[in-house]
Amino acid sequence: MGSTGNPHVALIAFPFGTHAAPLFSLTAALATAAPSATFSFINSGRSNASLARDISAVPSGANIRVYDISDGCPDGYVLPVHNPEEEVGLFLQAAAVNIREAMEKAVEGAGGRRISCIVSDAFIWFAGKMAEEMRVPWVPLWTGGPYSLATHMYTDFLRLKFGEQVTPSRLSEPLDCIPYMSALQVRELPEGIVFGNTDSVFARLVHSMAKELPHATTVALNTFHGLDPAVDADLDTKFKHTLSIGPLHLLTPQPPQPADSYGCVQWLDNHAPATVVYISFGTIMSLPPPEAAALAEGLEASGVPFIWSLKAAGQAYLPSGFLERTSGRGLVVPWVPQLKVLNHPAVGAFVTHCGWNSVMESVTGGVPMICRPFLGDQRLNAGVVSRVWKIGAGFEGGIVTTGAAEKALRLVLMEDGGKAMRERVGKLREMAIGATKPGESSTNNFQALVEVICGY
Ligand code: UDP
């Protein structure tokens, strides 16, 4: 338990993908809930720069201090091409030393107040070792979904069952060796468990994480009570203590959204309920060019109005004349205020890569999904969306073709199957909103988390 005087909490982010933002939102919520505690947020300078809007929304004089650490790239080093594996590897190599130094600075910055608790992204598993040495609690935040966390916890078991490299013919087998995963398939596991490079930086990272998490004081989860009861019950047996505090974007104060520079919301105001498809593949992934062209053709063929979050580089792959031909019923813009758009009644479907933040945001917007997952936990999330919660569908054949796009759009936006998905996701939406109301599960769990972290 943290010191009961004036706690000093170090929060350590994983500076890739959409990982640091939820941890910073949690920091802001904790800082409001525990005004006499100090919160030192430690993250790479580059990732902190991408959180500038969130950080600048913190009132001056607030009890949050932000510390930059190096991203591990030697001075003058330029990555040959965007290479996530190499970037993560370089960061991790230097991370332990850099984080320790930042914690020393944080103690100085807090007038010598020693660190009383470490909260970290669960990927920063070695924060558990640091906390143990410092004899303070460690509270990892798992920013993904409970199913993907469970697959990491079962890595050794799955390798015993399928081998480190499953034979291709077994990829379509159900994952019924974990009873609540029987609707999912081996191929939907994150790579690095029983296929792909099981010795990659990332595979080793999550494997180490799975070994360390059972020692954590409390594991905080971005999910909510009632969404996946069987998974939650199982995770409860793996960890000392878990607290579901999601959906985090409903529970924590959200920074001001970027201005709606492209007028998406106003554009949606002119559309009937549940008629528009919103398309985004998150902050890292983009559709391979032939699939982007096929999606554009499918949109044209279906006649469905759309908003597509697509950077200028991706727009170059659209079929010639597409933007002009669809200008009356489509918006293609480089950035969309996703939370607002998914909460707009006109949006009736979300074509998504199934990053966990997008999945949670779609659920709380009550919007069924059309899934095009790429890597990591995205395939598993897509399987859960389509076959466990039944609030979405995939593209036939797993990739976007013109025909598959047209079919999926029609199913979700125009057919009875889509109507049933909308009803089911509407129920989950109510459950999610309910969980974050005063006196309800996620709010109560957040209070319990404040107690674990701050000692009061
Ligand atoms: N996002 C957004 N506008 C866009 C594209 C993405 O606001 O045009 C946000 C989205 O709301 C979500 C995040 O970016 O919170 C993407 O997170 P996710 O976990 O889905 O995917 P990742 O970027 O980590 O692959």
355 Cβ below 6 A of ligand 1: yes
Catalytic-role residue among 19, 152, 207, 225: 19
Specify the pLDDT at position 48: 97
- Which atom of ligand 1 is the closest one to the Cα of 357? 19
For residue 403, how far is its CA from the centre of ligand 1 (angstroms)?
27
DSSP string for 295-356: HHHHHHHHT--EEEE--HHHHTTSPTTHHHHTTTTEEEES---HHHHHTSTTEEEEEE---H
State how far the alpha carbon of 391 is from the alpha carbons of 17, 28, 409, 417, in Å.
25, 32, 14, 10
For residue 337, how far is its CA from the centre of ligand 1 (angstroms)?
9
Q: Which two tokens stand for residue 58?
A: 């913190």
Q: Which two tokens stand for residue 308?
A: 């597509």
Catalytic-role residue among 54, 68, 121, 232: 121
Which residue puts its alpha carbon closest to atom 13 of ligand 1?
Answer: 282
Residue among 222, 278, 338, 372 whose CB has most ligand 1 atoms within 8 A, to mutate: 338
For residue 255, how far is its CA from the centre of ligand 1 (angstroms)?
14
Q: Is the pTM of this model over 0.90?
A: yes
Which residue puts its alpha carbon closest to atom 15 of ligand 1?
Answer: 357
Q: Is 264 helix (H, G, I), strand (E, B) or coil?
A: helix
Alpha-carbon distance 408 to 414, whole Å?
A: 10
Specify the pLDDT at position 80: 67
Crossing angle of helices 146-153 and 229-238, rounded to 10° = 40
Burial class (CB in 10 A: 0-12, 13-18, 19+), 89: middle
Specify the pLDDT at position 61: 80
Q: Catalytic annotation on 19?
A: yes
ipTM value: 0.99
For residue 267, how far is its CA from the centre of ligand 1 (angstroms)?
21
Instruction: Render each residue's pLDDT in the chain as its tens digit; 456 residues.
Output: 444 479 999 999 999 999 999 999 999 999 999 999 999 999 999 999 999 999 998 887 889 999 999 999 888 887 767 778 899 999 999 999 999 999 999 999 999 999 999 999 999 999 999 999 999 999 999 999 999 999 999 999 999 999 999 999 999 999 999 999 999 999 999 999 999 999 999 999 999 999 999 999 999 999 999 999 999 999 999 999 999 999 999 998 777 777 888 999 999 999 999 999 999 999 999 999 999 999 999 999 999 999 999 999 999 999 999 999 999 999 999 999 999 999 999 999 999 999 999 999 999 999 999 999 999 999 999 999 999 999 999 999 999 999 999 999 999 999 999 999 999 999 999 999 999 999 999 999 999 999 999 997
Q: Catalytic annotation on 199?
A: no
Contacts of 325 (CB under 8 A, 6+ apart): 300
For residue 356, how far is its CA from the centre of ligand 1 (angstroms)?
9
Specify the pLDDT at position 83: 79
- Cβ density class 288-321: b for 16+ within 10 Å, e for less: eeebbbbbbbbbbebebbbbbbbeeebbebbeee
Q: Where are the alpha helices (DSSP H) in 51-165?
A: 52-56, 84-109, 127-134, 146-153, 155-162
Alpha-carbon distance 174 to 323, whole Å?
A: 42
218 Cβ below 6 A of ligand 1: no
